[in-house]
Amino acid sequence: MADSVDERIALTDQERKILRAVEPTLAALGYVAVHLEVIGGTRGGRTVRFYIDYLDGKAPFFERESSEDATADADDGSVADDCSVADDGSVADDGSVADDSVEPATGPAGERYVTIADCVRASRQMDLVLDVEEVITGSYQLEVSSPGLDRPLGRRSDFTRFEGKAAKIETDAPIQGRRRWSGILRGVDQSNVRIEVDGVIHAVPFDRIRKAHIRYDFELEATSNR
């Protein structure tokens, strides 16, 4: 079962409405929204950006590619190399139409990671739902991406799943004199996310987190995989 909206870090009321509208459709397709964000003004010209993963929660295969590619601007209908597709075009990076029949890609240990075909499949169905539900007023562009290397952490379960990984956390206001933490995730309790910074473990209230994402560390990954 997909995580409840209430188990996510801070979302606006509109983002919650959008998420509730598309969650059943994503789950039926075998996906879950890792995170979403609405970018732009309220009068139109906005981007509704979703990051999706497989519903079964299997860890993705991290590839050596820029995290910026994961959220590449898709205003021209282009698709980022790691799987990003806008609602006005299901075009692969070579200019061809993505094939919905493509099997999930796998890593060395059999782990699956989201493909362009997954993003296209999800985008088509989500676009239909959003048109019917009318939870977004004004013009907007839907963008669906894979989480990428520096994947966002939007759900409580994400902080548990990636315990021991390097991450960055930003809160809505200063806590202990700071708003940003960059360190190693050390677990989650009922109220807080624990992150180790320079050997000290800090407790960051979950409901105060505004943004969070993995900080992919090749050296740390190489050490942990030995």
pLDDT in tens, 196-206: 999 999 999 99
What is the token pair recorded at 222? 């190489």
The residue that leads in pLDDT, 64 or 127, is: 127
Helix, strand, or coil here: 194?
strand
* The predicted structure's pLDDT at residue 198: 94
In this structure, the answer to whether residues 72 and 138 fall within a common structural domain is yes
Q: What is the pLDDT of residues 141-160, one digit of tens each?
A: 999 999 888 899 999 999 99
Check pLDDT > 60 for residue 118.
Answer: yes
Number of domains in the chain: 2
Q: Establish if 151 belongs to a structural domain.
A: no
Whole-number mean pLDDT of the chain?
77
The DSSP result for 127-173, as a single string, is HHHHHHH--S-S-EEEEEE---TT-B--BHHHHHHTTTSEEEEEEEE
Structure tokens at 102: 């493509």
Answer yes or no: do 137 and 169 share one domain: no
pLDDT at position 164 over 80 = yes
pLDDT at 68: 39
Query: In which residue are the tokens 């180790």 written?
Result: 196
- Crossing angle for the helix pair 13-29 and 116-133, to the nearest 10 degrees: 120
- Identify whether residues 102 and 18 lie together within a single domain: yes
Q: Are residues 112 and 11 in the same domain?
A: yes
Q: What is the pLDDT of residue 85?
A: 64
Q: Is 110 exposed, middle or buried (0-12, 13-18, 19+ CB in 10 A)?
A: exposed
With cut-offs at 50, 70 and 90, classify the pLDDT of residue 114: confident
Same domain, 14 and 58: yes
From 94, 125, 145, the end of a domain falls on: 145
Element (H, E) at 71: none
Going 157 to 163 to 167 to 171, the CA torsion angle's sign is positive
Most confident among 8-22, 77-91, 107-121 (mean pLDDT): 8-22
Q: Across residues 18-46, what is the average pLDDT?
A: 88
Compute the Cα dihedral for 53, 48, 144, 179 and give only its sign: negative
Same domain, 196 and 98: no
Q: Please, are residues 114 and 52 in contact by the beta-carbon 8 Å criterion?
A: yes
Residues 6+ apart with CB under 8 A from 220: 165, 166
Pair 12, 113 in one domain: yes
The band of 10, judged by pLDDT with boundaries at 50, 70 and 90, is confident
Confidence grade of residue 125 (pLDDT, cut at 50, 70, 90): very high
Higher pLDDT, 57 or 214: 214
89 against 159, higher pLDDT: 159
Flag whether 92 is in a domain.
yes
Residue 38 in any domain: the answer is yes
Task: Name the domain boundary from 145, 179, 202.
Answer: 145
- CA within 13 Å, CB half, 156: 16
Distance CA 117, CA 92 (A): 9
Within-domain flag for 208:
yes
The answer, yes or no, to whether residue 1 has pLDDT greater than 70, is no
DSSP run (H or E) holding 68: helix 67-70
For residues 74 and 166, the model is more confident at 166
Range of the domain at 211: 156-224
Residues 6+ positions from 211 with CB-CB distance below 8 Å: 9, 152, 168, 169, 170
118, 145, 172 - which closes a domain: 145
Residues 126 and 72 placed together within one structural domain of the fold: yes
Check pLDDT > 80 for residue 83: no
pLDDT band at 166 (very low <50, low <70, confident <90, very high): very high
Beta carbons within 8 Å of 41's beta carbon, 6+ residues apart: none
